[in-house]
Amino acid sequence: MAALIPEAAHKVFTPETLRSAAKQSERKHIVPVRLRRAIKKILREQEKPHMKRKVLSLSESFSEIKDVNLQLATSTSKELIKTSYGDIGLKYRDDETVAYVASRMPAYTLPVRRRLPGFSPARVLDFGSGTGSVLWALREIWPRSLERINLVEPSKSMQRAGQSLLQDLKDLPLIHSYDSIQALTQNLEKSDREHDLVVAVCWILFQSIRR
């Protein structure tokens, strides 16, 4: 059996490399139970057979390629949402949104769990919030400090899915959702526009895909 393993592999799997890998993975927690239940619930609501087939097809295609975000952008409807700031995102059909919830939401939730020691934000802005992956991760990390979360997401379908996932949760911070930064600034007093933490992970990925 040992003869089947390349010599280079023996050099890679040393005690030092294994310890390093363990340290990198020790913060990789499983997806929160409540999020898994919410995702299952939203999937059960897809009663139409053609909708289920579409969701399954999209979910599998998202999961099979290395650059999932590129696949997501190329497979979704190509209707860019226009604002005074220019293109701010893609419109997602309902079936595409459900596929995103099923295949990508858990993957986006886990990395956010890495946090700075001693940092406890009260007010958070999530720019390009999608279906609320960041919100779920923040609740797991800082369940007591969060007071207000402002979400900016141009896709109405994504907004609806995010709200549906949160339906059965209690003790949530104050949550407001906006279509754009412009809408946020128009509806909030200047003092309320200050945030302890600003997240723009999905928006940055979207911009890198378009270039």
Q: What is the pLDDT of residues 76-131, one digit of tens each?
A: 444 444 444 444 455 666 666 666 666 566 555 555 555 555 778 999 999 988 88
- Phi/psi at 17 (nearest 5 deg)? -70, -35
What pLDDT does residue 89 have? 52
Residue 2, in any domain of the structure: no
pLDDT digits 0-9 by tens, 7-25: 444 444 455 544 554 444 4
Residue 177: give its domain's CATH number.
Answer: 3.40.50
- DSSP letters along 99-158, please? HHHHHTHHHHHGGGG---TT---SEEEEET-TTTHHHHHHHHH-TTT--EEEEE-S-HHH
Domain that holds residue 77: 33-210
| Cross-strand pairs, 178 | 152
Domain total of the chain: 1
Query: Which residue do the tokens 């053609």 mark?
Result: 50
What pLDDT does residue 175 have? 94
Residue 18, in any domain of the structure: no
Residue 6, in any domain of the structure: no
What pLDDT does residue 151 have? 95
Whole-prediction pTM value?
Answer: 0.56
Residue 88, in any domain of the structure: yes
CB 146 within 8 A of CB 169: no
What residues have CB less than 8 Å from 166, skipping those under 6 apart?
38, 132, 135, 172, 175
What pLDDT does residue 59 have? 58
Residue 146, in any domain of the structure: yes
pLDDT digits 0-9 by tens, 56-90: 665 555 554 444 444 444 554 444 444 444 444 55
